[in-house]
């Protein structure tokens, strides 16, 4: 018995150390992230205690409605929302809409950072409403629609352009050739999966595009999210060389990767923690490698 | 959906208090770059007029300039601008090589600190004998 347990344990340990050496940077990122989360958690608990006694949060919400007379002028409305533990910005907005002003308009759906419909500009930064704890923010909480996009109504912005840029990089799997058997699988190596893992997490929220002031100045710039999508497929080894070349041609064009000036704004705001700048830089290097051949 | 409201460009610089390290680095790099370009042109203009005729004109021009306190102060400023542009340029080089992307904010702060140190250390030399 005891020997068996021993064996299992050592196996486990071996596995662990293997995983550590294999995925060095990823491991480091994860442990850093864990430390960050813990610190944030601690701060939140302190603040929650304070908030618990105050019990309300002031929301200052951007309002604008072109269709109603007297509301065409943008303004800020204040809502006093009762605070409860674990309340997010989205929860507060929903409360304000349900209890104070049913005309308050904003997009939301999943409430768990999956659908990407509620990226907002909260206290000076692009954030997902449903992923942002009120306890993390200073009072009053200022909520605005995403900058650099046209406002349709209240917190709703026109995402059409963002989606166009996303579609421009053909964000779907197109392998050069299909496997022979009908039920044959297209397998990816674990290393390759690891490489594109982060880039697959995009939820099309548009926060990155809104934070980038190159994208704001150059309407044709593909933008971080679209380039990240291109990265996700260009680096996928199952697609084959021809496809990759075609994909590289898209990102290499005048308003592609070379517009990025490494401000890191997108990487800072991405709610899914995608290292966007890193991916853009990698595509730049890839482009240089395929175009400059000295040998 | 009949119309959309464009909030214009005011929001960009009106929000400077909310900028992050990477954004500041970008702004400073642009700014120092333009200052250096401007300096280059004045530099060429002054030197080409001063060296047009005999050597005494050159000596007189330069001595005349160096006597002015404002020129000395501008020289310190030029050093600051150049040093920051160089250091941040090195930082960007590493970013382009894909090295240390997680530490981009720290390397920006480091270049600021080093710039400040070098500039402070150079002040006595620049302002000597005005
Ligand atoms: S890359 Fe990040 S910030 Fe940009 S759209 Fe995707 S999830 Fe949102
Ligand atoms: S509601 Fe779906 S991402 Fe926030």
The residue ranking higher by pLDDT, A49 or A33, is: A33
Give CA–CA dist A72/A152, Å, rounded: 11
Contact A281 B96 (CB under 8 A): yes
Atom of ligand 1 nearest to the CA of A211: 3
Best residue for ligand 2 mutational test, from A122, A128, A155, A206 (most atoms within 8 Å of Cβ) = A128
Query: Who's near A189: CB < 8 A, 6+ residues apart?
Result: A237
Strand pairing of A156-157 and A56-63?
Answer: unpaired
Residue B3 with chain A: CB contacts under 8 Å: 66
Angle formed at CA A280 by CA A278 and CA A282, multiple of 5 degrees: 70
Strands annotated E in A30-90: 56-63, 75-82
Give CA–CA dist A182/A295, Å, rounded: 41
- Tell me how close the Cα of B22 comes to any Cα of chain A, in angstroms: 5
Angle formed at CA B69 by CA B68 and CA B71, multiple of 5 degrees: 70
- Ligand 1 in contact with A206 (CB < 6 A)? yes
CB A106, CB A92: distance < 8 Å? no
For A111, how many CA atoms within 13 A lie in the half-sphere containing its CB?
9
Residue A278 with chain B: CB contacts under 8 Å: 98, 101
Residue A125 with chain B: CB contacts under 8 Å: 18
Give CA–CA dist A152/A89, Å, rounded: 20
Atom of ligand 2 nearest to the CA of A109: 1
ipTM tops the 0.90 cut: no
Query: Who's near A263: CB < 8 A, 6+ residues apart?
Result: A212, A213, A214, B22, B23, B25, B26
Task: Report pLDDT digits (tens) over B56-70.
Answer: 888 888 888 888 888
Q: Which of A141-150, B4-13, B32-41, B43-52 has the highest mean pLDDT?
A: B32-41
Give CA–CA dist B105/B93, Å, rounded: 14
A59 SS3 class:
strand
Of A207, A184, A227, nearest to A272 (Cα)?
A207
Whether A47-156 and A159-178+186-291 share one fold: the answer is no
Q: What is the mean pLDDT of chain A?
A: 87
* Chain A contact probe: residue of B2, B7, B95 with most A CBs at under 10 A: B7
pLDDT at position A117 over 80: yes
pLDDT at position A16 over 50: no
CA A77 to chain centre: 28
Give CA–CA dist A92/A56, Å, rounded: 10
Query: Which residue's CA is minimally distant from atom 1 of ligand 1?
Result: A225
Residue carrying the six token digits 């680095």: B25
pLDDT at residue number A285: 92
Task: Report pLDDT digits (tens) over A185-215.
Answer: 888 999 999 999 999 999 999 999 999 989 9
Contact A147 B7 (CB under 8 A): yes
- The rounded percent of chain A whose pLDDT value lies above 90 is 59
Q: Which residues of A35-47 are buried (b: 16+ CB within 10 A; e: fewer)?
A: eeeeeeeeebeeb
pLDDT at residue number A53: 63
Task: Report pLDDT digits (tens) over A48-99.
Answer: 766 656 678 999 999 988 888 878 788 889 999 999 989 999 999 999 999 9
- The two structure tokens encoding residue A193: 């999966």
Q: What is the mean pLDDT of chain B?
A: 86
CB A134, CB A141: distance < 8 Å? yes
Query: In angstroms, what CA-CA distances link B78 with A55, A166, B33, B70, B97?
Result: 54, 43, 11, 12, 28
- Ligand 2 in contact with A107 (CB < 6 A)? no
Where exactly are the structural domains of chain B? Answer: 18-127
- Tell me how close the Cα of A187 comes to any Cα of chain B, in angstroms: 28
- Ligand 2 in contact with A128 (CB < 6 A)? yes
pLDDT at residue number B3: 58
Residue A150 with chain B: CB contacts under 8 Å: 4-6
pLDDT at residue number A51: 60
* Chain B contact probe: residue of A208, A260, A262, A279 with most B CBs at under 10 A: A262
A128 SS3 class:
strand
Lowest mean pLDDT among A214-223, B1-10, B40-49: B1-10
* Chain B contact probe: residue of A27, A137, A213, A257 with most B CBs at under 10 A: A213
Query: Who's near A64: CB < 8 A, 6+ residues apart?
Result: A71, A72, A73, A74, A75, A151, A153, A154, B5
Residue B102 with chain A: CB contacts under 8 Å: 29
Query: In angstroms, what CA-CA distances link B97 with A247, A276, B45?
Result: 22, 15, 37
pLDDT at residue number B130: 65
Return the CATH fold of A47-156.
Ubiquitin-like (UB roll) (3.10.20)
Task: Report pLDDT digits (tens) over A229-255.
Answer: 999 999 999 998 899 999 999 999 889
DSSP one-letter code for B100: S
A140 interfacial to chain B (CB closer than 8 Å) = no
pLDDT at residue number B79: 95
Residue carrying the six token digits 């958690």: A41
> Model's pTM, two decimal places?
0.81
**CATH label, A159-178+186-291, candidates 1.10.1060.10, 1.20.120.350, 1.10.760.10, 3.30.470.20:** 1.10.1060.10
Mean pLDDT of all residues in B21-31: 92
Where exactly are the structural domains of chain A? Answer: 47-156, 159-178+186-291
Task: Report pLDDT digits (tens) over A254-269.
Answer: 899 999 999 999 999 9
- Ligand 1 in contact with A212 (CB < 6 A)? no
pLDDT at position A139 over 90: no
DSSP one-letter code for A146: P
- Ligand 2 in contact with A117 (CB < 6 A)? yes
Strand pairing of A56-63 and A141-144?
Answer: parallel
- The two structure tokens encoding residue A208: 């990155």
Number of the ligand closest to the Cα of A269 = 1
Residue in B closest to A159 by C-alpha: B4
pLDDT at residue number B66: 85
**CATH label, B18-127, candidates 3.90.320.10, 3.90.1150.10, 1.20.1300.10, 3.40.50.10680:** 1.20.1300.10
Mean pLDDT of all residues in A3-16: 49
- Ligand 2 in contact with A195 (CB < 6 A)? no
CA A206 / ligand 1 centre spacing (Å): 6
Give CA–CA dist A135/A48, Å, rounded: 6
């Amino acid at each position: 018995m005891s020997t068996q347990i021993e064996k299992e344990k050592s196996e486990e340990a071996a596995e662990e150390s293997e995983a550590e050496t294999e995925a060095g940077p990823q491991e480091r990122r994860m442990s850093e992230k864990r430390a960050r989360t813990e610190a944030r958690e601690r701060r939140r608990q302190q603040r929650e205690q304070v908030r618990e006694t105050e019990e309300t949060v002031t929301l200052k919400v951007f309002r604008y409605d072109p269709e109603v007379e007297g509301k065409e002028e943008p303004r800020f409305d204040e809502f006093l929302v009762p605070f409860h533990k674990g309340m997010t910005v989205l929860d507060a907005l929903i409360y304000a809409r349900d209890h104070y002003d049913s005309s308050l308009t904003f997009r939301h759906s999943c409430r768990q950072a999956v659908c990407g419909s509620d990226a907002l500009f909260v206290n000076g930064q692009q954030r997902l409403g449903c992923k942002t704890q009120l306890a993390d923010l200073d009072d009053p909480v200022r909520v605005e629609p995403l900058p650099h996009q046209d406002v349709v109504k209240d917190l709703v912005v026109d995402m059409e352009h963002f989606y166009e840029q996303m579609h421009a990089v053909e964000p779907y799997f197109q392998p050069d050739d299909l496997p022979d058997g009908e039920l044959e699988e297209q397998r990816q190596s674990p290393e390759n999966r690891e490489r594109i893992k982060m880039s697959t997490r995009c939820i099309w929220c548009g926060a990155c595009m809104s934070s980038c002031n190159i994208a704001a100045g150059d309407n044709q710039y593909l933008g971080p999210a679209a380039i990240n999508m291109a990265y996700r497929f260009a680096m996928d080894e199952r697609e084959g060389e021809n496809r990759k070349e075609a994909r590289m041609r898209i990102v290499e064009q005048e308003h592609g990767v070379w517009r990025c000036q490494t401000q890191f704004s997108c990487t800072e705001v991405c709610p899914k923690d995608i290292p966007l700048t890193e991916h853009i830089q990698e595509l730049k290097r890839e482009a240089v490698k395929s175009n400059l051949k000295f040998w | 959906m009949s119309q959309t409201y464009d909030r214009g460009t005011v929001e960009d610089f009106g929000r400077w208090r909310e900028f992050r390290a990477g954004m500041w680095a970008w702004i400073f790099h642009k700014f120092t770059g333009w200052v250096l370009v401007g300096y280059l042109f004045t530099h060429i203009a002054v030197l080409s007029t001063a060296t047009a005729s005999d050597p005494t004109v050159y000596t007189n021009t330069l001595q005349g300039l160096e006597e002015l306190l404002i020129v000395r102060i501008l020289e310190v400023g030029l050093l600051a601008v150049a040093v920051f542009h160089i250091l941040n340029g090195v930082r960007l080089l590493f970013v382009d090589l894909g090295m240390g992307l997680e530490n981009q904010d720290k390397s920006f702060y480091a270049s600021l600190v080093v710039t400040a140190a070098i500039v402070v250390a150079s002040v006595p030399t620049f302002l000597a004998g005005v």
